[in-house]
Structure 1
Amino acid sequence: MGERMQIGEVAERTGLSLRTIRYYEEVGLVVPSARSQGGFRLYTDPDVDRLRVIMRMKPLGFQLDEMREVLAIIDPTPDSPRIEDPAGRLAELTRTADERCAELRRKLAIAEEFAATLHEHLDARADEPPRS
């Protein structure tokens, strides 16, 4: 099964907060592989990989149900929901991800244009004589 980590180490590895990891557990997106004798959550590398998949869906605006579907298809667990047409649904979710990535690229381009405008104004001010 590999190395087992407590939630703090998982948080360090993923950059997620303890609260977020616990929330993902509460809503059933990730389940610790084991518990220590003291009751601490223990995670493995596959659990961390699963959290990283969730992290990648978040900026694309995937809802919890969509996240569950993606995980049920690409990383199923015994508790995963049954997906009627996994290949078809994966194709739909892939199109959704592609569309949302394109929208993020459009927004990023606008943000970069704005940042460039600010740099131009800053550079122009640097060329001005100091005010007294």
Structure 2
Amino acid sequence: MEHDLELPAYNLLDEPWIPVRDRCGNVVDISLTEALLNGRDYAAIAETSPPNLIALYRLLLAVLHRALTTQYGAWRDQDRADWFRNGLPEQAITAYLELWRDRFWLFHPTAPEAVK
């Protein structure tokens, strides 16, 4: 007998799960999308476990790197200078996240948690 269990909906792009410290010192949880698009608005990642902190940085860097190389290919020094001065290219990040949105469901029946 087969049971169809409905899995809970939890998308890492939309749900707040990354602990950060805002500019006033408060700890709040934000989504992966918020972290990538508005990271400059926060003082730091507020994870207290070193292995978890490293894992968060690695995830953020991997997704950001993939989003930017998908859009720009190789980066020029001028690109990096522009991103530092003006912020990261929101359109490139958003396009990448939307392209792979289905891979960021934590509980997905066939492709959970950013697995290709």
Higher relative contact order (CA 8 A, sep 6+): 2
Q: Which has the larger radius of gyration?
A: 1
TM (norm. structure 2) is: 0.26
TM (norm. structure 1) is: 0.24
Give the structure with the larger strand fraction.
2
Give the structure with the larger helix fraction.
1
